[in-house]
Amino acid sequence: MSFGANGLKQLTATDSVSSTLTCSQQVMVEPLVHYLMGPPADANVGVPTSVTPRAAGEPCAEASLPSCYARARENKSSRAMQARSQFCWSICAALLLGACSSGGGGSSNPTLDGGTTPADSGTPAPSDGGTPADGGDQFGSGPDPVPDPTGNPTSYNLIDAAQTAGTISEEQALLYKLYVGFADPALPAAYQGDDTGIIEVDGHEQVVAYLDRVGLANVPAATLDSFWPFFVPAYYQGSWWHQLHPAAQLAGGAVPAAANPNCRAWESSCPLLADWKNVAGTHVVVWYLTANEIVDAPRANILLQEFENTIWPKLTTLMGRTPLSDAGTGLVSETDGRLDILLVDLPKNMEGQTATSTLGKCKAVPAHIYLNRNLGYQGMIAQAAHEFMHAIEFSYDVASSCVKDYYTTLEATAVWATNYVYPTNDWEHKYAKSYLGNIALAYDDKGAPPLFRYGAYLLPLFLESRFGSAIVKEIWDKTLVYSGELIAIDSALGGRGSSFSQEWPRFVAANWNRDAIAGNNYLHLDRVADVPGLESDDTFQMPAAGLGSLTNPVSLPHASSAYYRVTFGDAASRSVLVVNGLSFMADALDLTGSGNMMTFTGLEVVQRSGASMQAYLKVNGAWQSAPLDISNAMGFMFCRDDPAGNVEQIVFMYGNAEISTTLPNYPALVPRAKPPGVLVTNIGCRDWTGSLSMTKPLHSGQETLTVSNIVLKNQLPTAAPLPGSDPTTYPLPVGTTNQISLGFGFVYANASGTAVWSYNDTTGSGSSTCTYAGGKTFSIASTTPKYQFSNWTPPGTAAHGVNLLGVLDATLSSQLSYVETCTGSPATTVIAGTQLDVAVLIFDPATRISTTGLSLSGTGAQTTDPLHA
């Protein structure tokens, strides 16, 4: 390879110094406010002057009521007496609701003839029905205090494992799961797992789904008989509760009579139990145990008011439907068609259950609700909204076999309903981390940790922020048509002019919930402080060779996401190429015979379906306002020597929005060749300065060209790209014949420089000689790109090399001339130009960028003399 010069002096990159600023994140923790029963100290509390006896021979001690209220109000002003105050208010409320009412606080015989009405107990009720203005925070605010699951095998895990091993049958496994839901001591010890943090179980849904699958006629009668009591509401003879409490008595008789726990409500009518009382409203009936009356009667009244005034109207208006009535159905739960809510002791941390009222159907079916009576008021109303949403969901005649087939949506929208009804209650906040901590799992993954689908309420919450609360109804309406929950979501979004594939990357970006995003996303608006986990959190340090990379080995199932963070740990990491190896096939190939370069090949639509890649940048100590979506870009480059390109951190956000089970990316979205990430070199990427000196020997003299004060100016963008510059169309055709590269590195032109050329030679001898003399000083400034450095070149022969394709402009070099003077002849001006110039190729080992990345030097020898061969 020939050179146009035999000497090339050092070029030195102009270095810039940048400072790193750190930003701190402040997290505000909202205290949990414990609600104390009773009106404020300045409230005008009405005390009845007379009461109706509870029953003959049981007059109410009405004189005790004013003193009880007085003591409670007095105690309420003292923090030291808060516990006594709460207890005293409970006593007062119980006296009014139970002992002193003629049916409003629960009758001695729990008939539903004409219904009962809530008593005026003096217990607190939402002044406006719990409208969004108060959000239910009169009952406290803050996340559910239930402990996190331990990760140890749960009872369901042990039961499932035994069924898989063949130790128990599927039907036995289902019965054991029903035992778990109600702490039935019949559950063998071998299947009593660690159910810490399990707030709800779905044994009822699993049983009904099984029976729907195999058919009732194909299940032995004895098996059905073992299932049925768990579908009978607890206040009936023969219910699961009755079987656990065989001493229960019948209601309605003049003389207490023992109830038969083996009454078969699914075959014939079974009477109510005297152990239960209720308060009733227009739409719901709230049941509680007589034995718990002193505590549960006021709680039942609060629940009744919340259901009638807030929960029922808000959710039925939104969803355009009510829970199905059981009136006239002949089902075991049938009373008068109103929705039944029961306050019971549920095991461990379980907060509620919504049980369908028949074994025969698992969709379009009435239901009744159990709430854990041990919940505080805040949790009680939150879980009430949650379970009521389930009752509405079970009313849908969905396209799939059972409502439970919409596995994640079922719980996600029920948790969402808690926030919708009580926006400042925040009981649901605890579950967010169970989703954000497992974002690499598919949204509809049935094998996810127990609270994952509860935390998945973040998706309907996000979609609400985009399209309003009606989007939740629209999603459920689409379940009438589509059997897949993700397809139903996608179809609902289609009605809003969007799609799952469009919204998923936005959801992934908003979920980062850190840095500048944390102050301007849907989670911030709802005061959620949880953040997603990172697949990796790496600091890049430049290797001694001046070239390195960090890759993200992404493998994403459908409807999942992942985050990778890269921090640049030193100033030597100057030139950075972000490589999109997810929606393009990226590889290091030699396309030109000059050495490897990063090469990108277009993928077919199905190969990149669902793929999204976003880059969130911290530049000069400040995070950009939003990530850059590069799903349709091969990548981008920036120069950290440029203050506007001084990227200190990158958060890569990957998503797989594929929802079609037949397409290749549904099981997993993976890179086709090299994974996405960053390729980094230490090569300076702003202006370069230096000088060149070239000498060509002639017959007895020489030609020289010296270029001093050269400034090579970068002709490509060096700043970090800004949000909003996201490409919207895919740029490459499909296939290897359309491979394209971003090149070896940044491209430069002569910004300035002064060239001094001289030509001196003598030929001949004696009386026949000729002399040649000439010289010129001129500027070499030009905007024509001439040089390419290897700023983002992968390992290979081209790494740390340069293409120098001529310092002199062709026009300038052709105008150089010298004067020829020969013996006996007049002087003649010869415009000969010059052949002195630089012609260095990027793979030339004699001319390399130094290992520091800041200088370029080398020498070359010309192999021929073009003028005087």
Task: Please tell me the predicted confidence (pLDDT) of residue 135.
Answer: 60
Task: Please tell me the predicted confidence (pLDDT) of residue 78.
Answer: 38
Residue 333: pLDDT band (50, 70, 90) is low
Task: Please tell me the predicted confidence (pLDDT) of residue 68.
Answer: 37
Q: Of 108-117, 261-270, 632-641, where does the model show the most confidence?
A: 632-641
Q: Which of 389, 289, 410 is nearest to 339 (CA)?
A: 389
For residues 459 and 412, is the Cβ–Cβ distance under 8 A?
Answer: yes
For residues 291 and 275, is the Cβ–Cβ distance under 8 A?
Answer: yes
CA distance 438 to 452: 7
Question: Backbone dihedral region of 208: left (phi > 0), alpha (psi from -120 to 50 degrees) or beta?
Answer: alpha
Q: What's the CATH code, domain 536-681? A: 2.60.120
Task: Please tell me the predicted confidence (pLDDT) of residue 735.
Answer: 81
For 318-332, what is the mean pLDDT? 86
Q: At what angle do helices 407-421 and 470-478 cross, to 10 degrees?
A: 160
The better pLDDT of the pair 763, 261 is held by 763
Task: Please tell me the predicted confidence (pLDDT) of residue 252.
Answer: 63
Residue 662 in this model has a pLDDT that exceeds 50: yes
For residues 815 and 833, is the Cβ–Cβ distance under 8 A?
Answer: yes
Q: What digits encode the pLDDT tens for the residues 373-416?
A: 999 999 999 999 999 999 999 999 999 999 999 999 999 999 99
For residues 748 and 787, is the Cβ–Cβ distance under 8 A?
Answer: yes
Residue 781: pLDDT band (50, 70, 90) is confident
Parse the chain into domains and list their residue ranges: 8-18+687-720+741-858, 149-398, 406-528, 536-681
Q: Which of 505, 623, 657, 590 is nearest to 843 (CA)?
A: 590
Give the angle 97-334-217 at the CA atoms, nearest 5°: 145
What DSSP designation does 450 have? T
Question: Max alpha carbon distance in the chain (Å)?
Answer: 154
Q: Could you write out the three-class secondary structure of 611-640?
A: EEEEEEEEECCEECCCCEECCCCCEEEEEC
The better pLDDT of the pair 80, 791 is held by 791
13-32 core/surface letters (b: 16 or more CB in 10 A; e: else): beebebeeeeeeeeeeeeee
Task: Please tell me the predicted confidence (pLDDT) of residue 192.
Answer: 96
Q: What digits encode the pLDDT tens for the residues 801-846?
A: 998 887 777 667 777 888 989 988 888 877 777 777 777 889 988 8
Residue 188 in this model has a pLDDT that exceeds 90: yes
Amino acid at 336: D
Q: What digits encode the pLDDT tens for the residues 505-531?
A: 999 999 999 999 988 889 999 999 999
Residue 121 in this model has a pLDDT that exceeds 80: no
Task: Please tell me the predicted confidence (pLDDT) of residue 262.
Answer: 77
For residues 386 and 418, is the Cβ–Cβ distance under 8 A?
Answer: yes
Task: Please tell me the predicted confidence (pLDDT) of residue 109.
Answer: 41
Range in 44-48, 131-135, 499-503 with the lowest mean pLDDT: 44-48
Range in 32-41, 294-303, 472-481, 635-644 with the lowest mean pLDDT: 32-41
Residue 120 in this model has a pLDDT that exceeds 50: no
CA distance 101 to 298: 12
State the chain's mean pLDDT as an integer.
Answer: 83
Structure-token pair, residue 536: 């990796």
Residues with Cβ < 8 Å from 43, sequence gap 6 or more? none
Residue 14 in this model has a pLDDT that exceeds 70: no
Share of the chain above pLDDT 90, in %: 62
For residues 146 and 351, is the Cβ–Cβ distance under 8 A?
Answer: yes
Element (H, E) at 532: none
- Sheet strand arrangement including 547-551: 547-551, 677-681, 575-579, 635-639
Task: Please tell me the predicted confidence (pLDDT) of residue 324.
Answer: 95
Residue 39 in this model has a pLDDT that exceeds 50: no
CA distance 308 to 297: 17
For 786-800, what is the mean pLDDT? 93
The better pLDDT of the pair 615, 255 is held by 615
Q: At what angle do helices 293-306 and 377-393 cross, to 10 degrees?
A: 50
Query: Please, which contacts does 21-28 make with residues 24 or more away whose CB atoms are closer than 8 Å?
Result: 21/620, 21/621, 21/622, 22/621, 23/515, 23/621, 23/622, 23/623, 25/514, 25/515, 25/518, 27/529, 28/529
CA distance 601 to 665: 18
Q: Is 541 helix (H, G, I), strand (E, B) or coil?
A: coil
Task: Please tell me the predicted confidence (pLDDT) of residue 457.
Answer: 98
